[in-house]
């Protein structure tokens, strides 16, 4: 028998099919499972990327017949995929879908689950490879992890055991350390998969390929040539039905500590000697360690916060954050932040990174733009009245995935006449797997590169926690600037750059 890796050809790529496994999803009837996990798992299975001897055990508190659970999941997959849903593929997928209900704090439920797992492993020959996926509110993370330990389910019994855990990993440095300690008391770091779905977006993964597989960009990727960098993750949606979570989180916890800092690390890191999970994660942590701490007593110099007012989402009128269901009257939760970051190392000294993210902005757009310095001497100055624009390189993460470079070219005619032109590479047709498909596959294959290591979590929290505390205790006197839904964000965010002689790229 050939025990080597098996590959599937998928959209002209060769993708390794994971070894047989059993996936246990906690919170299997919840929002995340229905909207993201099951549609992703179904698509992977339909496209031949999951081994046939794999199976899924959904678990949640609600008592439900297996047939009811399967029907619930069918409906949510059909809703997510629309015409892309295929009945035959569903039949094959759903035949390996099981359900177990139980309270997360009841040890007897884990004992029962252990029995079910053993039976399923026997029936499906999953070779004791297990993944526990926590798609539950963070308040029950520690409880479930501890019970997996007590019941012995965290132990490897001839196969691998992985635990996958969604953000947020803590809500400040102390709680992140506490959660990491609980995780490490039960699992080894190599078994722990802290998810950040931004890292699984194809265009985000492309940042490193683009930087380090081309000789022409990297020599210019430093303070000698780059004036500044902007990282934008803008959303047009509001907080939807998540006031309970969002009121406690706010934009800095929800988007900066994880997604935006990860984008920053990929943009700023040094090349590792090999493209290997630990080496890449080492380099990212070095970036976090080089970020200049944000001084809690003069945060206004580097941070602008905002909260959305009523306005439009492009097609209809929408309410202010204060009027969203579940938001406390007079809430001071920020839904927008713009942050200036300095990286104190040899490569980036003196190059500011401007980060911004917000809900209910003019567009859904995530991009990294690298703004080069102007030419050192303008020999055309006598013939030209206007200044020429410096070059920019934009990595568009979503939508319209791609990379574009703006440079100057002569406009047709006899005179000296320059105008900016774009060289545009569209990545869209290459995007094969969705973020959740990619991240699930990597967790099944045991590749931790796209997952956040404990030290990275703690380092990013140690940067943000003093600022968040200063904001929340009101000690710094930061203002929460109002901005209209559907706008570019608060005017003061524009001032943050204007004071440095720069402007944001329009959304
Ligand atoms: C999540 C945040 O992590 O990312 C949400 O909790 C946000 O508030 C979402 O809307 C954005 O993800 P994406 O993939 O739609 O850009």
Q: Are strands 418-426 and 130-134 parallel, antiparallel or unpaired?
A: unpaired
d(CA 162, CA 173): 24
What pLDDT band is residue 416 in, cutting at 50, 70 and 90? low
Q: Which atom of ligand 1 lies nearest, measured to the CA of 237?
A: 10
Tens-place pLDDT, residues 363-396: 999 999 999 998 887 777 666 666 778 999 999 9
d(CA 306, CA 453): 31
Contact predicate 367/381, CB 8 Å: no
Bridge partner residues of 26 (DSSP): 59, 134
For the domain covering 16-166, report its CATH number: 3.40.50.720
Q: Which atom of ligand 1 lies nearest, measured to the CA of 197?
A: 14
Residue 501 has phi, psi (to 5 degrees) of 75, 30
- Between residues 495 and 430, the one the model is more confident about: 495
- The answer to whether domain 16-166 and domain 199-374+429-434+461-498 are alike in fold is no
Which residue lies with its CA nearest to atom 5 of ligand 1? 254
Establish whether residue 254 lines the binding site of ligand 1, counting it when its CB lies within 6 angstroms of any ligand atom.
yes
The per-residue pLDDT of the chain, averaged, comes to 92
Triad 333, 337, 343: Cα angle to 5°: 135
**Confidence (pLDDT) at 421:** 82
Establish whether residue 324 lines the binding site of ligand 1, counting it when its CB lies within 6 angstroms of any ligand atom.
no
Q: Report the residue count for the chain.
A: 507
Q: Which CATH superfamily is domain 199-374+429-434+461-498 in?
A: Dihydrodipicolinate Reductase; domain 2 (3.30.360.10)
pTM value? 0.93
- Kindly tell me if the per-residue pLDDT of 411 is higher than 80: no
Q: What is the DSSP string of 409-478?
A: EEPSSSS--EEEEEEEEE-GGG--S-HHHHHHHHHHHT--TTS--HHHHHHHHHHHHHHHHHHHTT-S--
**Confidence (pLDDT) at 9:** 65
- Kindly tell me if the per-residue pLDDT of 447 is higher than 80: yes
Establish whether residue 367 lines the binding site of ligand 1, counting it when its CB lies within 6 angstroms of any ligand atom.
no
| Domain boundaries of the chain, sorted by first residue | 16-166, 199-374+429-434+461-498
Start-to-end CA distance of the chain, whole Å, equals 55
Q: CA-CA-CA-CA torsion for 438, 402, 391, 487, nearest 10 degrees? A: -90
What pLDDT band is residue 424 in, cutting at 50, 70 and 90? confident
Tens-place pLDDT, residues 282-323: 999 999 999 999 988 889 999 999 999 999 998 899 999 999
Residue in the structure block whose two tokens are 């990282």: 231
């Amino acid at each position: 028998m050939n025990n080597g890796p098996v590959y599937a050809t998928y959209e002209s790529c060769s993708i390794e099919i994971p070894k047989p496994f059993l996936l246990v999803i906690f919170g299997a009837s919840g929002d995340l499972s229905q909207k993201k996990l099951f549609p992703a798992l179904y698509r992977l299975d339909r496209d031949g990327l999951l081994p046939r001897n794999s199976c899924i055990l959904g678990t949640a508190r609600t008592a439900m017949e297996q047939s009811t659970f399967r029907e619930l999941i069918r409906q949510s997959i059909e809703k997510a995929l629309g015409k892309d849903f295929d009945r035959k593929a569903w039949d094959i997928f759903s035949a390996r879908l099981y359900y177990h209900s139980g309270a997360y704090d009841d040890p007897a439920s884990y004992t029962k689950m252990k029995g079910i797992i053993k039976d399923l492993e026997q029936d499906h020959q999953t070779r004791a490879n297990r993944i526990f996926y926590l798609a539950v509110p963070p308040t029950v993370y520690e409880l479930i992890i501890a019970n997996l330990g007590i019941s012995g389910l965290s132990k490897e019994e001839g196969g691998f055991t992985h635990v996958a855990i969604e953000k947020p990993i803590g809500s400040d440095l102390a709680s992140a350390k506490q959660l990491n300690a609980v995780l490490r008391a039960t699992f080894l770091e190599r078994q722990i998969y802290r998810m950040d779905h931004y890292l699984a977006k194809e265009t985000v993964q492309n940042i490193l390929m683009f930087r380090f597989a081309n000789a022409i960009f990297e020599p210019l990727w430093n303070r000698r040539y780059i004036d500044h960098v902007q990282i934008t993750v803008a959303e047009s949606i509001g907080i939807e039905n998540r006031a309970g979570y969002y009121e406690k989180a706010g934009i800095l916890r929800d988007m900066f500590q994880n997604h935006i800092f990860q984008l920053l690390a990929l943009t700023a890191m040094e090349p590792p000697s090999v493209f290997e999970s630990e080496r890449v994660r080492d380099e990212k942590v070095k970036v976090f360690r080089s970020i200049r701490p944000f001084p809690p007593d003069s945060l206004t110099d580097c941070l602008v916060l905002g909260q959305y007012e009523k306005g439009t989402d492009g097609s209809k009128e929408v309410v202010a954050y204060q009027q969203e269901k579940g938001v406390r009257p007079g809430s001071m939760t920020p839904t927008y932040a713009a942050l200036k970051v300095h990286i104190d190392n040899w490569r980036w000294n003196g190059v500011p990174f401007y980060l911004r993210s917000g809900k209910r902005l003019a567009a859904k757009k995530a991009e990294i733009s690298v703004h080069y310095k102007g030419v050192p001497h303008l020999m055309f100055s006598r013939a030209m009245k206007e200044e020429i624009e410096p070059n920019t390189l934009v990595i568009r993460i979503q939508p319209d995935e791609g990379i574009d470079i703006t440079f100057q070219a002569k406009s047709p005619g006899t005179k000296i006449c320059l105008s900016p032109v774009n060289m545009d590479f569209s990545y869209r047709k290459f995007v094969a797997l969705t973020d959740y498909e990619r991240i699930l596959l990597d967790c099944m294959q045991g590749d931790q590169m796209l997952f956040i290591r404990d030290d990275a979590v703690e380092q990013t929290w140690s940067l943000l926690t003093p600022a968040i505390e200063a904001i929340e205790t009101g000690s710094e006197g930061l203002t929460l600037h109002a901005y209209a839904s559907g706008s570019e964000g608060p005017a003061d965010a524009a001032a943050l750059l204007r004071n440095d002689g720069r402007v944001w790229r329009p959304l």
